[in-house]
A and B are shown apart, each in its own frame.
Chain A
């Protein structure tokens, strides 16, 4: 257990616990408007201050953890699943299947991810569900490539040849032997993917094309930060720090995993 893993897992565990226990530990309802306390700096009543509608920032950050973590995990889940299926199929069957899938992958890689996501969000209204799907659909290329190259090298190993000789079905070979042995780099990639997905989601929410208010997301709390620049520093600092530390946590875990798998 190296220090990267230790630090990273502690950070993520911290945010996960906060997200899970949100209803219990949150001092206020994150959408509760309080007209008497607009734009208040941090105080004993509102530990991290309030925004322009009087909503408590601390509560919004706590509930925002739920949104960001779940979007990140599910989006990456979708991307990795698609990537595993396409990459394993391409790597195992080779030939025309491989060429077709890889060509498709190359084409998808040409699109700046952010452009594609914005275009799709413009076409289909922004919602948490849509964001997860779109990020998933535009991030499968990385895992697909990884799995494919791992499978290409594993295909020639003796234990796989033995399985084929024993008459195991292709599906069994792929799912029970090839994929589990190839998971190392895929896991690292997935961890980095969650970091990226959270960054994407917060960017989208900041632009108004992600999680819509009143649902709190770290990105959409920051929407107000632009207009209250210089006046309400707490709206800028705290959500941004939350994003920074969370992403850092995932990056540290990825670095730790990289050292572990060698």
Chain B
């Protein structure tokens, strides 16, 4: 087991390198240099002054030198300062990560808790009413644009019915509430974002669980168990289910980039102070340091998620450890 983990961790190094290279290339797609804006504001700037500015930012060095400088700074978590308010990018991101991570983790839990039973039940009674109803739900879940769903839900639950708040994660009078009231306040604020963020994953995972379970039920060992007289419920939950649920772990890992991307949209709509919204604001302002830091961060988070998923899969399915 440990050797597997070690091997996988080693494999990360080239990935990280590749991520940094691609991000660096993407930055340099921008026409002009980062100093163009500074220069443009002062039409009288002399050639020597421009050169000095370039030298200050290391822009006169060849690309590979710029890249290694950038990489070295990144390794020390120095992402530069935001163009917007000159605060260190690192600080801005650290402030907001807990919110986004919590919502995304809650989404994953929510998806698991709902999708697995739905998938299993659909597989146990295929093409009956429950299965057909769930299939319709899944197709709609795949097809609905999340930002539209967010608007609809905001309109219905927030504006018309007034049951749920539509922005932020705390109410204005949060400071004056006692512990339980604080807890429910945050919970109320998170209901809509959580639902919007989970819907696509819910549809996908329940569908996948269903086909995985159906496939498991066709295996020869199931027929053996039945022939032995094992009761049907034990067959379903002890034998088929355990094998069917294994690939779900990988699917969860694979849905992380989707969740991160989705958080840009729902955090903007629900005014939640997370890294998704930070990214959106940075893009609108062309705040390149923040944009680049977030792209690298997104890639690293995805990679970590996949790593955790792979390791968990190797843990529950011993066959995997020896294949790779």
Task: Give residues in A with beta carbon < 8 Å to B.
Answer: 103-104, 106-116, 118-124, 195, 199, 202-203, 206-209, 219, 222, 225-226, 229-230, 233, 236, 239-240, 243-245, 247-248, 251-252, 255
The count of chain B contact residues (Cβ–Cβ below 8 Å) is 52
Query: Bound state CA distance, A139 and B295, in angstroms?
Result: 17
Contact yes or no, A240 B152, CB < 8 A: yes
Query: Bound state CA distance, A149 and B302, in angstroms?
Result: 24
Q: Given A104-B18, A229-B154, verify A244-B159 contact (CB < 8 Å).
A: no
Inter-chain CB contacts under 8 Å: number: 140
Give, as a whole number of angstroms, the nearest-CB distance from B91 to chain A: 20
**Which A residues lie within 8 Å of B265 (CB)?**
203, 206-207
Give, as a whole number of angstroms, the nearest-CB distance from B35 to chain A: 16
**Which B residues lie within 8 Å of A107 (CB)?**
15, 18-19, 22
**Which B residues lie within 8 Å of A206 (CB)?**
147, 265
Q: Given A111-B299, A240-B152, A252-B139, verify A119-B292 contact (CB < 8 Å).
A: yes
Which among B14, B140, B143 has the highest number of chain A CB atoms within 10 Å?
B143
Give, as a whole number of angstroms, the nearest-CB distance from A229 to chain B: 5
Query: Bound state CA distance, A236 and B146, in angstroms?
Result: 13
Interface pairs (13), CB distance under 8 Å: A106-B18, A111-B295, A112-B258, A112-B302, A115-B294, A116-B295, A195-B142, A225-B151, A229-B155, A240-B148, A251-B142, A251-B143, A255-B139
Contact yes or no, A120 B147, CB < 8 A: no
Chain A residue with minimal CB distance to B294? A115
Query: Bound state CA distance, A162 and B22, in angstroms?
Result: 41
Query: Bound state CA distance, A209 and B143, in angstroms?
Result: 21
Contact yes or no, B298 A112, CB < 8 A: yes
Which single member of B139, B148, B262, B280 contacts A243 (CB below 8 Å)?
Answer: B148
Query: Bound state CA distance, A209 and B268, in angstroms?
Result: 14
Contact yes or no, B294 A203, CB < 8 A: no
Q: Given A107-B22, A229-B154, verify A112-B261 contact (CB < 8 Å).
A: yes
Contact yes or no, B148 A222, CB < 8 A: yes
Contact yes or no, B145 A112, CB < 8 A: no
Contact yes or no, B261 A113, CB < 8 A: yes
